[in-house]
Amino acid sequence: MKQARKLRQMLAEGEPVVAGGCVEPLTGRLIQEAGFNSAYFSGYTAAATMLALPDTGYYTMTEMDGWIRNVTNAIDIPLIIDADNGYGTAINAQRTVRHFEKLGAAAMHIEDLLWPKYCAHIGGTRVGPMEEMALKIKACVAAREDPDFMIIARSEAPTGEIDGTIERLHAYVEAGADAVFLVGARSKKDLARIPKAFNVPCMVDITEGTYGPQDFTVEEAKDMGFKIVILALATFFAKIHAVRSVLKEIKEHGHTLNFRDRMANFKEMNEFLGVPRVWQLEKDYMTIDHK
């Protein structure tokens, strides 16, 4: 079953979609191992991980194309893509849809932010004309070959006032969006209003250290009515502190002896990466036999 169909089926059957964040295959595989039923590819994390740059429009669609391919080749769960604003006009957005769909992604969200584009968690965001974005959504829907591939409309409430953003998202649903993603609610009360305002699945991001409520859980999000819950930056933020900590340990003590209970090892990684399977394949199809 294609991952897009799998995602649609989960939503149709009422199974909450909970996606851990990844931009490279290893983290994607760890998310799958942990039992998450989907994964999420964050533009913020991609810019930081692949380029060591802020999410201010540096990377291109073709760069994303290669990074996404690596992840979809490594996991067997649906991947939801942050497609920014489609990387240009409605025509550019159509190309983005075709590329990401062919890579095996299950869904992508596209936003109505203007260039220069700043990630919502950086600030300085500017929202474009609603009518233009509605046409871009129509273009995206027309471009997909697989009707199961989901187009998720994303819009922002830069000041925290969500009524206007809800109105915008309704226009995008009328244009054909399969789901909505409202960013910028500043309270649980406002968050809870979002699913009640739509007849399509609503997505929410539990992001650490930004504006808005920081203390709600996946279960609370489900209870509010959100059908897709993403944890876009949790693994990324955790990795930053983990790497800094081990580097500090080495710098101060010259070894990792006191840190090894917090580190993986060759035995664990060889098992995780599938070395025994490679050995079995060599035994079956080559004249090599690992004793």
Name residues whose C-beta falls within 8 Å of residue 270's C-beta, 6 or more positions apart in sequence: 276
pTM attached to this predicted model? 0.94
Nearest to 203 by CA among 80, 117, 118: 80
Q: Which helix (H) or strand (E) element contains residue 194?
A: helix 188-196
- What is the rounded distance in angstroms from the CA atom of residue 271 to the CA atom of residue 265? 10
pLDDT computed for residue 119 by the predictor: 64
pLDDT computed for residue 6 by the predictor: 97
Report how far apart, in Å, the C-alpha atoms of 36 and of each of 12, 79, 109 are: 18, 11, 20
Per DSSP, the three-state class of 230 is strand
pLDDT computed for residue 118 by the predictor: 66
Cβ count near 45 (within 10 Å): 23
- What is the rounded distance in angstroms from the CA atom of residue 92 to the CA atom of residue 143? 11
pLDDT computed for residue 156 by the predictor: 83
Which two structure tokens, joined as six digits, stand for 162?
Answer: 């969500």
pLDDT one digit per residue (tens) for the chain, 291 residues: 799 999 999 999 999 999 999 999 999 999 999 999 999 999 999 999 999 999 888 898 999 999 999 999 999 999 999 999 999 999 999 999 999 999 999 999 999 887 777 666 666 677 888 999 999 999 999 999 999 999 999 998 766 678 889 999 999 999 999 999 998 888 888 889 999 999 999 999 998 767 667 678 999 999 999 999 999 999 999 999 999 999 999 999 999 888 899 989 999 999 999 999 999 898 889 987 766
> Regarding the domain delimited by 3-233, which CATH topology (the fold level of the hierarchy) does it fall under?
TIM Barrel (3.20.20)
Nearest to 80 by CA among 156, 17, 10: 17
pLDDT computed for residue 128 by the predictor: 82
Q: Where are the domains of the chain?
A: 3-233, 240-285
- What is the rounded distance in angstroms from the CA atom of residue 272 to the CA atom of residue 264? 10
Q: 30-38, long-range: CB within 8 Å, 24+ apart, which pairs?
A: 30/235, 31/75, 31/77, 31/235, 32/75, 32/76, 32/77, 33/272, 36/77, 37/10, 37/77, 37/78, 38/7, 38/10, 38/77, 38/78, 38/79, 38/80, 38/106, 38/228
- The 10 Å CB-count burial string (b at 16+, else e) for 185-209 is beeeebbbbbbebbebbbbbbbbee
